[in-house]
Structure 1
Amino acid sequence: MSRPILIDCDPGTDDAIALWLALGSPELDLQLVTVSGGNAGLDRTLANASAILSLAGSEVPVVPGADRPLMGRFTGDVRVHAADGLAGVPLPRGRPPAPGLAADAIRTALRGAGPEELTLIGIAPATNLALALATEPALASRVREIVLMTGAWGEGNWTPAAEFNAASDPEALSVLLMAGVPVTLVTLELTAQALVTPERISAIRARGGGACLRAACDILATTPPSRRLGGAGHPLHDPCAIAWLVAPALFSTRPAAVLVEGGSGPGRGRTHVDRWGRTSADPNAAVAETLDADGFFALLGERLARLP
C-alpha cells in the first residue's frame, strides 16, 4: 500500500525535483503540500509549488504557511535558486493555492489520520511543522515518521557552522527533534553523494518523458556547480528525503543524538550530531550516512519519466 505523506517545502530548485519524484512514485500517497518562505520569499515559493504540481497534473492541495521563522526572518539563497527560486526556468502558472494556513492544515491532516499513519517530510525550514506540533502536541501520536533534509555533522553550506534549512529556523528544528516521534535526517554529508553532473543530466534526458522531466533537467542544468564540492557538480538535496521513503535500500543510516544550536552567535543552526555515542544523550534521530548514487539517479530518471 502507498504510504500517506505530507510534504512541507520552499521551492526552490531541488524542492521541485523532490515534489516530482514523490508524484511519480506509487509507493507514496501525497495528500498535502504546505509551503513556507526559505529559498525565496513566500509569495514566490507558493507560486512555484502550485506550478510544480500543476505541471504534473496533480490536484493535491497547496497551502501557504510561514513567511518568517519563529525568530527573525528568512533570507533566500539567490546564488543557487535565483530570484524566482527555480534558477530562471519558467513554468506555467499553477492552480490557486488552497485557503487556510499551513499549520492548521497539518493539524487537520493529522487529526484525520490513524495512529502512526502519516509521514511528514520537511525539505524547508521547519517552521510550519513545528508550529503544528507545538500547538497540539498530542497529534504526534498520528505521525509515523518525520523525514527532514536538514543539518550537517561537519561544515555548513549557509554559514561555516550550519546548513541552510537548520540555520533558517533552528528553534523549529529543535521542536521536531523533541517531538517524541521517529526522525530521519538527510544531512549535507549524504546529499553531497547525490552529485548532479552533466553526464547524469544527459542520462535522465535520454529517457524521454514529458514536460516535468524536461523542466527538471533544465533546472538541474541551470543550477550552478558547488564550490564546496570542488565545482564537479551540485548536490541534489531535497529529493534524497523522498528517495529514502521510496527506496531505503539505497541508504545506510545510523542512530544519533542530535542537538541544534540556537542563539545569535556564529554557531546558530549548527547541528551537533553524535553518531558514535560520545555523549550520554539517547539517540533522537536516524542519520542517513551513505547513498548508492547511481541507484538514486536511476530511480530519479525512471520516476520523472512517468510524469506528464
Structure 2
Amino acid sequence: MSVRTATVSAAVAALLGGCVLLPAPRTHASDDRSAPVVLAHRGASAYAPENTLAAVDAAGDLGIAWVENDVQLTRDGVLVVVHDTGLERTTDAEEVYPDRAPWAVKDFTAAEIARLDAGSWFGARYAGARVPTLTQYLRRVERNRQKLLLEIKSPEIHPGIEKEILRILRKEGWLDREHVTHRLVVQSFGAESVKTVHAQRPDVVTGFLGTPAVADLPSYAAFTDQINPSYETIGADYVASVQKLKGAHGKPLRVNTWTVDDAAEAVEVAGFGVDGIITDKPDVVRDATR
C-alpha cells in the first residue's frame, strides 16, 4: 500500500468513526442466483388463443424458448392440444354441434374437432384458428426451435394416452438424445400417468403437477424430475425441501411454479429459489426476474 493510499484510508476510517462498510443490500430476486426459466403457459396465452399454433408463435416472437401445452385423446384416438375436457369455452362447439352437450373432447372425432373455430372467442384477428393435433403442434414448436413442457390432461379419462403420446413423440423425432436431454418434459397431475411415462421411457424427463407433502417427496423423486406446484402453495422452505432431493435421473429435483402473471408475484416466487415460472405473460415475468 502506498503512503497516499494509507493516508486516504486512515482519513476515511476516521470520518466513519471506525464503522465497517457493508455491501448494499440486494434489491432484485435474481441478483444472487440465475433467473428462473420462463415457460409460456399454453403458449403466450395472454396474447393469443391458448394452445393454438398462434400462441406458440406469439411466445416465439417474444423470444421465449419454452412453451407448455395440454394433450387429450379424441374419440378415435388422435391426440389434440386443448386444455378443458369440454370444448365449449375455447371453441364454437356449441354452435357447430348444438345437440352434443357436454361437448367433451373424448366424445368427438379428430375430424369433428378440426371443424371448430378455436380463435374467435379470443379476438376477431384469430377467427378460424384450429385446435391443433399434437403432431401439428410439435412441428410448429420444432420449426420455431422451441422447447416443450407437455401436460397429459386428465389421464384417468384417456386410457392408454401415455403410450400414444410417446408414439407420436418418437415418430416426430422428439425422443432422440437432443430433445430428451434439452427440449422435452412430460408432466401431469396424475402421479400414475407420470409413473407410466417413466416406466415406458425412463430417459424422458418428467414432472408432477402439484404440491406433495414434504414427507412424501422422496416417493415422488423415484419417478419424476420436477415438482411443479401452484405458486400459492409454496414458500422458500418448500422449494428448498424439494431441491435437496435427487430425482429419477440423479439430479436435484426442479421446481417450476404456475401460473404467475404479475411482476411483483414473479419477483416474490423467484426469491423462493424456483427453477422456472409458468406464465400466460412470459415477457412480464422475464422482465421482472432477469
TM-score, scaled to structure 1: 0.34
Higher fraction of strand: 1
TM-score, scaled to structure 2: 0.35
Q: Which has the larger radius of gyration?
A: 2
